[in-house]
Structure 1
Amino acid sequence: MTELIFVVEEREEGGYRARALGESIFTEGDTLAELREMVRDAVRCHFDEHEGPSVIRLHFTRDEVLAA
């Protein structure tokens, strides 16, 4: 595996939530710096040594609601 993509969303109560595409990896962080470290830690815990991705991509999504 060369790349693992996480979809990142802002939490209503503040902070961020990330989930990996194609793997059962979920994590959260109060700041972007904390989220990045939590994602790295979650990936290290999920995969055996030398089996994890060489690149982790964070894809940020944001919903915006407009009055019609």
Structure 2
Amino acid sequence: MQEIIFEIAEDPIEGGYSASALGYGIHTQAETIDELKSALREAVACHFDDQAVAPKMIRLHFVRDEVIPA
């Protein structure tokens, strides 16, 4: 596997960021982007015990919702 993609969203209620892997049951959250990156590396390493099948890259896809008056 070359890469795994995570959808990243800001948490409007608690603050910080949450991340969910597309196609895998991997989820994590953190207060800052740097903490999130570290948590993602750890979560991916734990999920893929076998380094031979672990992804080489982690892609972050940031999702942002914004509501404006019509």
Q: TM-score range by the shorter chain?
A: over 0.9
Gaps (5+ residues) in structure 1?
none
Gaps (5+ residues) in structure 2?
none
The aligned residue for residue 7 of structure 2 is 7
Which secondary structure does the structure 1 equivalent of 2:58 belong to? strand
Taking structure 2 as the reference length, the TM-score comes to 0.93
Pairwise CA RMSD: 0.7
Instruction: Kindly provide the amino acid, as one letter, of the partner of residue 17 in structure 1.
Output: S
Taking structure 1 as the reference length, the TM-score comes to 0.95
Q: Structure 1: which 4+ aligned runs deviate by more than 4 Å?
A: none
How high is the sequence identity, in percent, across the aligned residues?
53
Per-residue CA deviations over 1:25-65 (Å, capped at 9, x if unaligned) read 00001000000000000000000231210010001110000
1:21-60 to structure 2, matched below 5 A, reads 21-50=22-51, 51-60=53-62
